[in-house]
Chains A and B, each alone.
Chain A
Amino acid sequence: MPPHRYPLRAQVLDFAGSLGGFVICAGLLGFARPAAAVAWALGAAAALFLVYFGRTVCRQLTHIELDETGIRVRGPAAGLLSAVIRWENLRSMQLDYYSTRADREGGWMQLRLRDAQRTIRIDSGLNGFAAVVDRAARAAAERGLALDAATLGNLQALRP
């Protein structure tokens, strides 16, 4: 099975948002000489946006492999951001939906898989996200894991 990747077009908003947020906050911090309380708030926001940008870059360089034995995340930084979860060791599966809009439309899903040591988080921007979720759900069912109401509802929404 070919590896799953985050296509650039799915990440464009994250790149633009994190960079834009950082530029605005750092720009105000550098040029507007704000009061101490405002400076702290802007500094914290700028740091958060920088982390977000870094995470988006890492995600862009990451690919996910899926087979009958487990799921592998191959990331940058000499494998620092890589992780493997074997289906037989799967401890929990959660599928959440988030939206920043008041009508809860236009949101995204996040799959969280855990074994005893690590957690893998995959966003719905990934190519073939539904197939990954499907395989994980099958593994969770085989292991007899209890899924919460939100995960069950979101799984149902993903099925054709």
Chain B
Amino acid sequence: MLTYTLRRLLIMIPTLLVISFVTFSIIKLPPGDFLSNQIAELRSQGDKAALEKVEFLRKQYGLDKPFVEQYAAWIGIWPSEQGISGLLQGDWGWSFEHDLPVSAVVGDRMLLSFMLNFTVVLFTWVVAFPIGVYAATHQYSWGDHGLTLLGYVGLATPNFLFALVLMYFANVQFGLAIGGIMDPEYLDKAWSLAKFGSVLTHLWIPVIVIGTSGTAGMIRRLRANLLDELQKQYVVTARAKGMPAFRLLVKYPLRMSLNPFISDIGNMLPSVISGSAVVAVVLSLQTSGPMLLDALRSQDQYLAGSFLMFLAMLTVIGMFISDLLLAALDPRIRLTGGAAK
């Protein structure tokens, strides 16, 4: 397992480097940058002081330098005007649109995004696991049919639509405004127990909205895998020998059918993160999603780049954990057509 962990860790280093390069390339793909758009606007207004500041920023952040040099300075392996200062050194750069350091603009948003996405994954597991097991062990019962129907509805409903419907009903039926991830008085305030409590009371709505489709998919996969296992000969033999049903279920079939459950952590994170961005716009959540969309639109490259790198890191770490768990849970070789793979 140590060899596996280290080899897997070794893959993460070039993966993160490639991701950072691709992220930076995508941000730089559109012609011009945030400052060149600003310069054109300021020139038309004849604002000389602002023009000088823009030129100063262009020089300070090396926007006049070649692409590769800008990239190396951004990740912190090449000196810029203020020495070696990039992502590695904890300097996320300057947000041109907000005229503030990225760290000041981002504030709590990355932490809130992490909390939201982590809770969504947790919700998906906690809800999908018992339902999936129930649906498989009570195949074709009323409960199974009902849960299957609910699962299909969950899969077929787009997250943003579900958010809109929920907002409408909460407002019309109960007079509640369910947008936001905390009460407005806690926005931009330091973390306290009251603020944390406010986040928790608001978190359940986006968690349900974002997590429903993933939960439905997970239930379907767990049900199908468990049904496959339950029909295998070793289960029939154990039943015939009088092994208690619950013990039999927990000892082998359930363990085997958990594989997709674990491997899905890695697959779920990108979809949860991209899904949460759209839902965050609809529900006015103060997470990274809406700010990332704005930053991409306005070519605020350091702000967008920081968000994308954070989300990519979250995904890479999620995949790493999922792979480790999977390797520990099921270290079997796969056989295809009789040949070892």
Contact = CB atoms under 8 A, between A and B. Distances in A.
A150 B252 CA distance: 12
A21 B9 contact: yes
A146 B90 CA distance: 52
B77 A28 contact: yes
Contact of A52 (B6, B89, B331): B6
B89 A32 contact: yes
Nearest to A38: B88
B172 interface: no
B6 A48 contact: yes
Interface residues of B, number: 29
Given A45-B9, A48-B9, A149 B88 contact: no
Interface string A35-59: 1111000000100110010010000
Q: Is the interface of A mostly helix, strand, loop or mixed?
A: helix
Interface-central residue, A20, A49, A52, A98, by most chain B CB under 10 Å: A98
B335 interface: yes
Interface in A78-108: 96-98, 100, 103-105, 107-108
A109 B89 contact: no
B7 A32 contact: no
A21 B10 contact: yes
Nearest to B266: A102
A61 B11 CA distance: 26
B334 interface: yes
B17 to A, nearest CB: 9
B341 interface: yes
Nearest to B340: A157
Q: Which of B90, B252, B332 has the most CB of A within 10 A?
A: B332
A98 B3 contact: yes
A110 B7 CA distance: 14
B90 A123 contact: no
B8 interface: yes
Nearest to A48: B6
Contact of B7 (A25, A45, A100): A100
Contact of B4 (A17, A24, A35, A100): A100
B91 to A, nearest CB: 8
Interface bracket on A: 35 or more
Contacts of B76: 32, 34
A32 B333 contact: no
B276 to A, nearest CB: 24
A86 to B, nearest CB: 26
Contacts of B88: 28, 32, 34-35, 38
A38 B335 CA distance: 41
Interface string A141-160: 00000000110011001100
B330 interface: yes
B156 interface: no
B331 A96 contact: yes
A55 B2 CA distance: 10
B13 A24 contact: yes
A33 interface: yes
A153 B6 contact: no
A28 to B, nearest CB: 7
Contacts of A24: 13
A100 to B, nearest CB: 5
Given A20-B10, A150-B330, A150-B332, A35 B3 contact: no
Interface in B56-80: 76-77
Contacts of A149: 252, 256, 332
Interface in B1-28: 1-4, 6-11, 13
A48 B6 CA distance: 7
Given A32-B77, A45-B9, A52-B6, A98 B331 contact: yes
A34 B89 contact: yes
A75 to B, nearest CB: 16
Interface in B147-174: none
Given A18-B10, A55-B2, A103-B341, 4 more contacts: A17-B6, A38-B89, A157-B335, A157-B340
6 contacts: A28-B77, A32-B84, A52-B2, A149-B256, A150-B330, A153-B335
Interface of B: 1-4, 6-11, 13, 76-77, 84, 88-90, 252, 256, 323, 327, 330-335, 340-341
